[in-house]
Amino acid sequence: MSAESPLLVIEDLHAAAGDTEIIKGMNLTVERGQIHALMGPNGSGKSTLSYVLMGHPGYEVTAGKVVYKGRDITESSPDERGRNGMFLGFQYPEEIPGVSVLNFLRTALSNRTGTDYTVLELRLKVAEAMRELGMDQSFADRYLNEGFSGGERKRNEILQMTVLEPELAVLDETDSGLDIDALRTVAEGVQRMHTDERGFLIITHYQRMLDYITPDVVHIFVDGRVVDSGGPELAERIEESGYDEYRVGTSS
């Protein structure tokens, strides 16, 4: 692997759920240190893309490939991708009753780093991350997402990202259903984590997340493929005029 290899390269990617093709020739490159925003209408395949990138077994890659840090990971397991520094923030994080936030993070971080952290070591690390995010310390002992509000679930996703320190973070509509305070917390978490070596792919339907995070590149994603790319001004144009100009007769 070359030190200059892009962090992520998606090359002519096609993916299907059963007999239904959803990703239809996707091309995208994320360099280290870049923040990319992927915008598209509902039903365009944005969330499917995030799952495919993380190796979800419910989707089959039928053509093309995903290259991460210079290595083809198209056939890699989700566990292997996570250990190698990929992270997915879900649009709708699942509840896991009986498993505390702290214990979940201990297991995840141990798998990510190969180090068996004690509960005390992990508690100190989590407490520091919570202070940075302005979260109450009691949050660590609650069961994962059980009884959490939408904003709390998304803050928990950012806490996980902060503790796990991924090299590539894919955030799938993390702004969905958030009030302005929670949205700001998410954005500040991304900005705090942003380094010259860490990349972000922020998947969103609306431009409002980008009021707080300035992406390097904005992509318009319609019907399973990127149909346009540009700077932050592209997101502003979509906010004003919508996606109609891209829905018919546009090729990637």
| pLDDT of amino acid 250 | 45
| pLDDT of amino acid 186 | 81
Other Cβ atoms less than 10 A from the Cβ of 7: the count is 23
pLDDT tens digits for range 4-63: 789 999 999 999 999 999 999 999 999 999 999 999 998 899 999 999 999 999 999 999
Query: What is the C-alpha to C-alpha distance for residues 151 and 221, in angstroms, rounded to an integer?
Result: 26
| pLDDT of amino acid 207 | 78
Query: What is the C-alpha to C-alpha distance for residues 129 and 131, in angstroms, rounded to an integer?
Result: 5
Determine whether domain 8-92+166-247 maps to CATH 1.10.10.10. Answer: no
| pLDDT of amino acid 147 | 87
Q: Give, as one character, the DSSP assignment of residue 252.
A: -
CA angle 201, 206, 207 (to 5 degrees): 80
At residue 128, the 3 state secondary structure works out as helix
Structure tokens at 145: 């997402």
Query: What is the C-alpha to C-alpha distance for residues 221 and 192, in angstroms, rounded to an integer?
Result: 27
Binned average pLDDT, 10 residues per bin, the chain of 252 residues: 79 97 97 95 92 96 98 96 93 83 91 88 90 86 87 85 94 78 82 93 84 92 95 90 75 40
| pLDDT of amino acid 251 | 41
**What would you measure as the largest C-alpha separation in the chain, in angstroms?**
58
Q: Give, as one character, the DSSP assignment of residue 18.
A: T
| pLDDT of amino acid 248 | 61
